[in-house]
Amino acid sequence: MQRFDVIVVGLGGIGSAAAFHLASRGARVLGLDRFPIAHDRGSSHGQTRLIRLAYFEHPDYVPLLRRAYALWHDLEARTGEPLLVESGLLMAGPGDGPVITGALASAAAHGLDVERLTAREACNRWPVFALPGSWEAVHERQAGYLFVERCVAAHAAAAERAGATLETAVQVHGWRTDGDGVIVTTDRGEWAADRLVLAPGPWAAGLLQLPALGLSVLRKSLFWYRPAAAASPSLAAGACPCFAFDAPAGFFYGFPSIDARGVKIAEHSGGRPVADPLNVDRTVDAAEEHAIESVIASHLPTLGSSRADHAVCLYTMSPDHHFVVGLHPDHDRVAIAAGFSGHGFKFASVMGEALADLALTASTPLPLGFLSPRRFC
Ligand SMILES: Cc1cc2nc3c(=O)[nH]c(=O)nc-3n(C[C@H](O)[C@H](O)[C@H](O)COP(=O)(O)OP(=O)(O)OC[C@H]3O[C@@H](n4cnc5c(N)ncnc54)[C@H](O)[C@@H]3O)c2cc1C
């Protein structure tokens, strides 16, 4: 049986980054995935992902985000690929709602450069937006988006250049500890390693051997709308920032038009439970489409409703909607990364670094104790 220093199970957003950081430190790495690199069956596809620093979910994420930005820019420099666009982000909603208060709290705690605007000031600056007069807005200039598939492919390519062996079309059945190592069982036989990193995205519940985590999977839809010619320039990347609306009907967000598909918009709240992530309905849901088009009519009226594309993607929710990252509570040779709860991609670069630390040294200087799996086990 072939033996490696570290096996990484899952080469999506998080696992591809872990494989890169491990291999670049000289570890002999085997990465395994069922699907091709940058596929569209898991959680890391659909053109773009928001990245932002004024993190309304919790200020403790901000130091990790600062490191994530630095590592994305480092990956761009290594690969020559543009990956991150700092387009700005306009967050809008009730002044006492979780998005505005949370973003301002993170900004205050960490001295972040954000601008607080009235709804009227925001609409005057970006006339594509229509916001109720009672709302407030926060503009974060350094926020923007990552090209999601490009990021996964860049980490995987950089991992291979650093010496990692990446095998796709391999279905991992399970794993067990064995003496001073770990054995991974697959449909192509068994592989052994000193350490294991598990980054299986929506398939985590079946692979982590930790039912106490209580992970669940939600089906989420992305919609693209092609603006009419007259509205195109003001909705294009460069003119229009990313946007997030804490609206009465839910939390909606989107991106300026960056290619012929136009403006991408999606709902972060809601979502249908998924029993089997290998068997997902990927057709357009009329109720979801109606909700998106209502938001467009209310807040982006010049965009119109000429739908150009649609995709389905999966969130893996933890019970408290915060990530689950750390050493496996029962096996200190195993590091786990799961439950990214629909907001994890922007962290993939720093999670790769943290997982490499955990696998190689059983600890990390990165401040991620608040994400430990032990809070559930
Ligand atoms: C619609 C949508 C919008 C989002 N928007 C944002 C955003 O704007 N900003 C943000 O930061 N985050 C966002 N997220 C969340 C973010 O994309 C995810 O948190 C992140 O991509 C999760 O990466 P992952 O590596 O855990 O999962 P994945 O990328 O799905 O990777 C898991 C990999 O493990 C492999 N695997 C699993 N089990 C096995 C097995 N048994 N054998 C072999 N291979 C296996 C899978 O094939 C897959 O490649 C969004 C997610 C979705 C779905």
Who lines ligand 1 at CB under 6 A?
10-15, 32-35, 42-44, 46, 49-50, 170-172, 199-203, 207, 220, 222, 266, 313-315, 340, 342-346
- The 8 Å CB, 24+ separation contacts for 266-270 are 266/220, 266/221, 266/222, 266/223, 266/292, 267/220, 267/221, 267/291, 267/292, 267/295, 268/244, 268/342
Which ligand 1 atom is at minimum distance from the Cα of 14?
A: 25
Q: What is the dihedral of CA 66, 251, 370, 152, to 10 degrees?
A: -50
Question: Is 151 assigned a catalytic role?
Answer: no
Query: pLDDT value at position 2?
Result: 84
How far apart CA 132 and CA 127 sit, in angstroms, is 13
First to last CA, the chain: 33
Helical ranges in the chain per DSSP H: 13-24, 62-79, 98-110, 119-125, 148-161, 204-207, 232-235, 286-299, 348-361
Q: Which residue has the tokens 């998080």?
A: 14
* CA 259 – CA 47 distance, rounded (Å): 10
**Closest residue to atom 21 of ligand 1, CA basis:** 44
264 is catalytic: yes
Radius of gyration of the chain (CA): 21
Whole-angstrom distance, CA of residue 170 vs CA of residue 168: 5
Sign of CA dihedral 82, 358, 65, 340: positive
Residue numbers in the chain where pLDDT is lower than 70: none
CA 150 → CA 47, 62, 69, 339, distances in Å?
8, 24, 16, 22
> What is the Å distance from ligand 1's center to 220 Cα?
12
Whether the CB-CB separation of 16 and 160 falls below 8 Å is answered with no
Residue 102: both structure tokens together: 């949370």
Measure 343 CA to ligand 1 centroid, in angstroms: 10
Residues comprising the chain, all counted: 377
Instruction: List beta partners, residue 30.
Output: 7, 165
Are 214 and 344 in contact by the 8 Å Cβ rule? The answer is no
What pLDDT was estimated at residue 229?
A: 87
**Is 161 assigned a catalytic role?**
no
At 230 the pLDDT is 85
Q: What is the mean pLDDT of the chain?
A: 97
Quote the ligand 1 centre to 185 CA distance (angstroms). Answer: 22
Angle between helices 148-161 and 62-79 (to 10 degrees): 70
Catalytic annotation, pick one of 21, 48, 52, 240: 48
Per-residue confidence (pLDDT) for residue 252, from 0 to 100: 98
* Whether residue 45 lies in the annotated active site: yes
* DSSP secondary structure letter of residue 149: H
SS3 label, residue 74:
helix
| Catalytic residue of the set 268, 328, 333, 343 | 268
Angstrom distances, CA of residue 32 to CA of 15, 205, 229:
9, 17, 45
Tens-place pLDDT, residues 327-362: 999 999 999 999 999 999 999 999 999 999 999 999
Query: Cα separations (Å) of 304 from 21, 60, 128, 297?
Result: 44, 38, 11, 7
d(CA 264, CA 245) in angstroms, rounded, equals: 14
Q: Which residue, by CA, sits nearest to atom 33 of ligand 1?
A: 10
CB atoms within 10 A of CB 144: 24
How many A from CA of 49 to the centre of ligand 1?
11
- Strand bridging mode 181-186 / 172-178: antiparallel
CA 212–ligand 1 middle distance (angstroms)? 21
Burial per residue of 98-108, b for 16 or more beta-carbon CB atoms within 10 angstroms, e otherwise: ebbbbbbbbbe
321 is catalytic: no
The full set of domains in the chain, from first to last, is: 3-45+149-213+320-375 (3.50.50.60), 89-141+216-317 (3.30.9.10)
Q: What contacts 262, CB < 8 A, 6 or more positions away? A: 224, 225, 226, 227, 235, 303, 306, 308
| Catalytic residue (choose from 242, 299, 346, 364) | 346
Check if the beta carbon of residue 57 is closer than 8 Å to that of residue 343: yes
* Contact of 309 with 224, CB cutoff 8 Å: yes
Strand partners, 264: 224, 255
Q: Which residues contact 141 (CB under 8 A, 6 or more apart)?
A: 86, 88, 113, 115
